[in-house]
Chain A
Amino acid sequence: MGLRDNLPPPIAGRLKYPKLEHFQQPNVITTTADFIFNWARSHSVFPFTYGLACCAIEMLSSGFARFDVARYGMEVFRPTPRQCDLMIVAGTCNEKMAPVLKRLYDQMAEPKWVISMGACATSGGPFYDGYNVVNGVDKVVPVDVYIPGCPPRPEALFQGLLELQKVIQQMKFVPPKLAKAGAGEPGVETAPAAAVQPAAAARER
């Protein structure tokens, strides 16, 4: 955040997320597109209500009042992949489920992330040599964060979600080409504009 803060000198300018009342000019924030989009995305992740086995019980309990995932802004579990951007693969994925998992992942809108929760989703876990078990869900969909445990407690899931926030905050929203053009290379910016100008002038005449 690029504004002067209305705070005493020891903490002025050192807040990661300053509030609006900390700014001298209210309702005006100057920042980068990358920062504001990543800030918004990483604090309003919509997870997918998708449980495969016993890890789903821990995922459910993390959604309820005792552990309360809403503290991280992720409480909106959605029952359809179209409205989600996070798939928490909670449980053993078997060979019959794998195509369904892939299809649901494909139905999610970009940007999207996958958390592999527990030993089974990460590597097959205790069923690694089972005849019907996929050894790691990362063979089917790309995984961003792995959470160990069998099953992981809700606290472990929260740590995974916080790690995912770090992953999201490193994303680049503005494509590199566009960022370069915006950085002010006069040749790139002005040449098309100059070509348009005579035509517009001719129409006015």
Chain B
Amino acid sequence: MPAEIGSVKVEIDELAARLAKLFDGELVDVGVQMPDTVIAHLDRGELREVARRLKQLPEIGYDSCNWIAGVDQLTHLESVYHLYSFATNTYLELHVQVPRDKATCPTVSDVWPSADWHERESWDMVGIKYEGHPDLRRILLKDDWIGHPLRKDYVDLIENHPNV
């Protein structure tokens, strides 16, 4: 059971400092976006371990994965995790860099089951392959679609449009 919403009173700056101390060396560039979001970057190799610890963090406990965004930043891709803590009523935004030429990222669908479909959507649109995902298929487009349409270098082929 998640805690009652906002039952733990904590200032967002203090929370950011606590997270930076707890995950020293793993979360880098820890910042705050007012009023209630902590932003942090981390390496994709440490994602699963950090995710597991974040969910079971005493008192804070990021027990909800609201959504996962795939972003094309031209130089690299990015998988952005939006986590929510019921106890403190705050958000945590995790940015994970993924190289374009080898776009793989470990899955967190076993930590937060809600991540399952979000990872499928990110794979569908941006083409980030989530390793260890139980059923990584396209979710919005047809199964035989060629390319990932939200990449900046996407080219729309005529094979995708049999009715034209």
A interface residues, Cβ below 8 angstroms from B: 95-96, 98, 131-132, 134-135, 139-140
**B34 at the binding interface (Cβ < 8 Å):** no
Q: Is B164 a contact of A96 with CB atoms below 8 Å?
A: no
- Residues of B near A98 (CB, < 8 A) are 163
Interface residues of B, dominant DSSP:
loop
| CB under 8 Å from chain A, chain B span 135-164 | 140-142, 149, 154, 156, 160-164
Q: Is A131 a contact of B140 with CB atoms below 8 Å?
A: no
Q: Is A96 a contact of B142 with CB atoms below 8 Å?
A: yes
> A135's contact among B140, B154, B156, B164, by CB below 8 Å, is which?
B164
Q: Is B142 a contact of A95 with CB atoms below 8 Å?
A: yes
In the complex, 18 of the A-B residue pairs with CB atoms within 8 angstroms, ordered by the A residue number, are A95-B161, A96-B140, A96-B141, A96-B142, A98-B163, A131-B149, A131-B154, A131-B156, A131-B160, A132-B140, A132-B141, A132-B149, A134-B161, A134-B163, A135-B164, A139-B163, A139-B164, A140-B163
Cα–Cα distance between A164 and B154 once the two chains are bound (Å): 42
Cα–Cα distance between A203 and B122 once the two chains are bound (Å): 82
Cα–Cα distance between A135 and B162 once the two chains are bound (Å): 12
**Closest residue of B by beta carbon distance from A134:** B163
- Residues of B near A140 (CB, < 8 A) are 163
**Closest residue of A by beta carbon distance from B155:** A131
- Residues of B near A95 (CB, < 8 A) are 141-142, 160-163
Cα–Cα distance between A95 and B156 once the two chains are bound (Å): 13
Cα–Cα distance between A131 and B140 once the two chains are bound (Å): 12
Known A95-B141, A96-B140, A131-B156; further 11 A-B contacts with Cβ < 8 A: A95-B142, A95-B160, A95-B161, A95-B163, A96-B141, A98-B163, A131-B160, A132-B140, A132-B149, A139-B163, A140-B163
User: Which A-B residue pairs are the 5 nearest by beta carbons?
Assistant: A139-B163, A131-B149, A96-B142, A131-B156, A134-B163
- Residues of B near A132 (CB, < 8 A) are 140-141, 149
Cα–Cα distance between A202 and B140 once the two chains are bound (Å): 74
Cα–Cα distance between A140 and B161 once the two chains are bound (Å): 12
Cα–Cα distance between A98 and B162 once the two chains are bound (Å): 10
Cα–Cα distance between A134 and B161 once the two chains are bound (Å): 8
- Residues of A near B149 (CB, < 8 A) are 131-132
- Residues of A near B163 (CB, < 8 A) are 95, 98, 134, 139-140
**Closest residue of A by beta carbon distance from B149:** A131
Interface-central residue, B149, B154, B160, B162, by most chain A CB under 10 Å: B162
Q: Write the nearest CB–CB distance from B59 to chain A, whole angstroms.
A: 44
Q: Write the nearest CB–CB distance from B6 to chain A, whole angstroms.
A: 36
Q: Write the nearest CB–CB distance from A181 to chain B, whole angstroms.
A: 42
- Residues of B near A134 (CB, < 8 A) are 161, 163
- Residues of A near B141 (CB, < 8 A) are 95-96, 132
**Closest residue of B by beta carbon distance from A129:** B156
- Residues of A near B160 (CB, < 8 A) are 95, 131
Interface-central residue, A95, A131, A132, A135, by most chain B CB under 10 Å: A131
